[in-house]
Chain A
Amino acid sequence: MSDQDTAIGAPAKRKEDRRFLTGEGRYTDDIDLHGQVYAYFLRSPHAHARINGIDTSEAMNAPGVLAIFTGEDLAADGVGGLPCGWEITDVNGEPMKEPPHPPLAQGKVRYVGDHVAVVIAESYYQAKDAAELVDVDYDMLDAVVSPADALEPGKPLVHDDIPNNQCYVWELGDRGAVDDAFDKAAHVTRLDLVNNRLIPNALEPRAAVANYSKGEDQYTLYTTSQNPHVIRLLMSAFVLNLPEHKVRVVAPDVGGGFGSKIFHYAEEAVLTWASRKVGRPIKWTAERVESFLSDAHGRDHVTHAELALDENGKFLAMRVDTKANMGAYLSTFASSVPTILYATLLAGQYTTPAIHCQVTAAFTNTSPVDAYRGAGRPEATYVVERLVSAAGREMGLDQAEIRRRNFIPKDAFPYQTPVALNYDVGDYDATLTEAMKVADVDGFDARRQEALRRGRYRGLGYSTYIEACGLAPSNIAGALGARAGLYEAGEIRLHPTGKVTVFTGSHSHGQGHETTFAQIVSDRLGLPFDDVEVVHGDTDRIAFGMGTYGSRSLAVGGSALMKALDKVIDKSRKIAAHMLEASEADIEYADGVFKVAGTDKSITTAEIAFSAYVPHNYPLEELEPGLDESAFYDPTNFTYPAGSHICEVEVDPETGKVQVVNFTAVDDFGNVINPMIVEGQVHGGLAQGIGQALLEGCVYDPESGQLVTGTYMDYTMPRADDLPSFKVGTKNTPCTHNPLGVKGCGEAGAIGSPPAVIDAIIDALAPLGVTNLDMPATPARVWEAINKAGATRAA
Chain B
Amino acid sequence: MEQAMSTTIKVNGREHTVDVDPDTPLLWVLRDELRLTGTKYGCGIARCGACTVHLDGKPTRSCVLPVQSVSGREVTTIEGLGGREAKAVQNAWSGMDVPQCGYCQSGQVMSAVGLLSDNPEPTDADIDRAMDGNVCRCATYARIRAAIHQAAADMEG
Instruction: Give me the interface of A with B, judged by CB distance under 8 Å.
Output: 11, 13-14, 16-27, 29-30, 32, 63, 123, 125-126, 129, 200-205, 253-258, 285, 287-288, 509-512, 676-677, 680-681, 683-684, 686-688, 711-713, 717-721, 723, 725-726
Interface string of B114-157 (1 = CB under 8 A from A): 00000000000001110110111111111111100000000000
**Is B83 an interface residue when CB atoms closer than 8 A count as contact?**
no
The number of chain B residues touching the other chain, given as a range, is: 35 or more
CA distance A496 to B131 in the complex (A): 48
List the B side residues contacting A686 at CB < 8 Å: 139
Main secondary structure of the interface of A (DSSP, over half): loop
Residue of B nearest to A30 (CB): B37
B37, B90, B137: the one contacting A201 at CB < 8 Å is B137
Assess the B128–A720 pair: CB atoms within 8 A. Answer: yes
CA distance A30 to B135 in the complex (A): 20
Residue of B nearest to A255 (CB): B103
Assess the B99–A17 pair: CB atoms within 8 A. Answer: yes
A13, A23, A511: the one contacting B95 at CB < 8 Å is A13
CA distance A48 to B146 in the complex (A): 48
Closest 8 CB pairs of A and B: A23-B38, A255-B103, A687-B139, A20-B102, A510-B101, A23-B78, A510-B100, A712-B47
CA distance A230 to B110 in the complex (A): 36
Residue of A nearest to B102 (CB): A20
A13, A205, A713, A721: the one contacting B47 at CB < 8 Å is A713
List the A side residues contacting B48 at CB < 8 Å: 203, 288, 712, 717
Number of A-B contacts (CB under 8 A): 168
Assess the B47–A683 pair: CB atoms within 8 A. Answer: no
Assess the A22–B38 pair: CB atoms within 8 A. Answer: yes
CA distance A512 to B131 in the complex (A): 24
Assess the B41–A684 pair: CB atoms within 8 A. Answer: no
- Nearest-neighbour CB distance to chain B for A242, whole angstroms, equals 30
Assess the A683–B1 pair: CB atoms within 8 A. Answer: no
Most buried by A among B104, B109, B136: B136
Residue of B nearest to A254 (CB): B101
Taking A717-B137, A719-B132 as contacts, is the C-beta distance between A680 and B102 under 8 angstroms? Answer: no
Assess the B45–A688 pair: CB atoms within 8 A. Answer: no
Assess the B95–A258 pair: CB atoms within 8 A. Answer: no
**Is B44 an interface residue when CB atoms closer than 8 A count as contact?**
yes
- Nearest-neighbour CB distance to chain B for A110, whole angstroms, equals 26
Most buried by A among B36, B38, B127, B134: B38
CA distance A257 to B102 in the complex (A): 12
Assess the A256–B141 pair: CB atoms within 8 A. Answer: no
CA distance A561 to B94 in the complex (A): 27
- Nearest-neighbour CB distance to chain B for A232, whole angstroms, equals 22
Instruction: Give me the interface of B with A, judged by CB distance under 8 Å.
Output: 1, 31, 35-45, 47-48, 50, 77-79, 90, 93-95, 97-106, 109, 127-129, 131-132, 134-146
CA distance A325 to B134 in the complex (A): 32
Taking A13-B97, A23-B79, A129-B1 as contacts, is the C-beta distance between A719 and B141 under 8 angstroms? Answer: yes
CA distance A406 to B89 in the complex (A): 48
List the A side residues contacting B47 at CB < 8 Å: 711-713
CA distance A123 to B95 in the complex (A): 41
Assess the A23–B90 pair: CB atoms within 8 A. Answer: no
Assess the B94–A13 pair: CB atoms within 8 A. Answer: yes
- Nearest-neighbour CB distance to chain B for A450, whole angstroms, equals 21
Assess the A23–B77 pair: CB atoms within 8 A. Answer: yes
- Nearest-neighbour CB distance to chain A for B29, whole angstroms, equals 13
CA distance A125 to B132 in the complex (A): 31
B43, B93, B131: the one contacting A711 at CB < 8 Å is B43
- Nearest-neighbour CB distance to chain A for B146, whole angstroms, equals 8
List the A side residues contacting B106 at CB < 8 Å: 20, 23
List the A side residues contacting B137 at CB < 8 Å: 200-203, 256, 258, 688, 717
Residue of B nearest to A690 (CB): B139
A22, A29, A125, A509: the one contacting B101 at CB < 8 Å is A509
CA distance A721 to B126 in the complex (A): 10
Assess the B94–A18 pair: CB atoms within 8 A. Answer: yes
Assess the A721–B128 pair: CB atoms within 8 A. Answer: yes
CA distance A684 to B143 in the complex (A): 11
Assess the B103–A203 pair: CB atoms within 8 A. Answer: yes
Most buried by A among B40, B139, B140, B145: B139
List the A side residues contacting B100 at CB < 8 Å: 256, 510-512, 680-681, 684
